[in-house]
């Protein structure tokens, strides 16, 4: 990722955190602490729709989230999907940015099922002789299962489906995330 893109992602993440802190502050009866902030690292597999010219790929990424209430959390995710040399010598870069809204069931249990809705962008670039850039807006829905290791550490496993225009493609994603909640976490 180039430095300009990194700065852009950091600015979006910071704006996302400030917006959510303002929302939480209006809902909260107690003092706000870092206990609501979650940082996650993820890996998974992205299955592109048949209409796309890309190979399916494994990916890595990270997320920054806020636990708004016991059941609701929001996450800003970044994933790097494809970085490869193409047959014609060009280089392909694919990145995905998305915001998730998550509703968790059974919040007191060790195993916690959840549903997730997403809005984001799939950003594709080819550098070289055949240079181009395409960006696809994506809307997603998914389901997952959280395992609470402790009050601070969690493992999330998730399956997601993304719809994007203008070609009405449906991409699929499965991923595993290891997440850490700062401060006392749920404690």
Cα 187 → chain centroid: 25
Q: Where are the alpha helices (DSSP H) in the chain?
A: 3-27
The residue written with tokens 């493992």 in the block is 155
Question: Hey, what are 178's tokens?
Answer: 């290891």
The residue written with tokens 């929302």 in the block is 23
**How much is the average pLDDT of 124-132?**
79
**How much is the average pLDDT of 94-108?**
93
> How does the average pLDDT of the chain come out, rounded?
83
Per-residue b or e along 105-144, where b marks 16 or more CB atoms closer than 10 Å to that residue's CB: eeeeeeebebebebebebbbbbeeeeeeeeebebebebeb
Neighbours of 39 (CB within 10 A): 14
Q: Which residues make Cβ contacts (< 8 Å) with residue 165, sequence separation at least 6? A: 136, 137
Top-ranked range on mean pLDDT: pick from 43-52, 112-121, 167-176: 112-121
**How much is the average pLDDT of 24-40?**
69
Has residue 127 got a pLDDT over 70? yes
pLDDT at residue 7, as a whole number: 53
CA nearest neighbour of 9 among 74, 68, 81, 96: 96
CATH, range 3-28+37-181: 2.40.160.20
Q: How many CA atoms lie within 13 A of 67 on its CB side?
A: 25
């Amino acid at each position: 990722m180039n430095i300009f893109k990194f700065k852009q992602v950091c600015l979006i993440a910071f704006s996302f955190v400030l917006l959510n802190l303002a929302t939480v502050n209006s809902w909260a009866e107690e003092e706000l602490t870092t206990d609501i902030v979650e940082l996650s690292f993820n890996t998974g597999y992205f299955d592109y729709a048949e209409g796309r010219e890309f190979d399916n790929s494994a990916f890595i990424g990270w997320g920054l989230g806020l636990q708004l209430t016991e059941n609701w959390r929001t996450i800003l995710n970044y994933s790097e999907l494809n970085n490869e040399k193409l047959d014609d010598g060009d280089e392909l870069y694919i990145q995905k940015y998305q915001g998730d809204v998550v509703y968790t069931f059974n919040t007191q249990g060790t195993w916690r099922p959840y549903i997730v809705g997403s809005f984001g962008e799939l950003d594709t670039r080819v550098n070289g002789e055949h240079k181009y850039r395409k960006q696809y807006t994506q809307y997603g829905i998914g389901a997952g299962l959280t395992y609470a290791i402790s009050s601070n550490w969690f493992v999330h496993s998730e399956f997601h489906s993304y719809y994007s225009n203008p070609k009405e493609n449906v991409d699929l994603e499965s991923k595993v995330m290891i997440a850490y909640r700062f401060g006392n976490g749920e404690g």
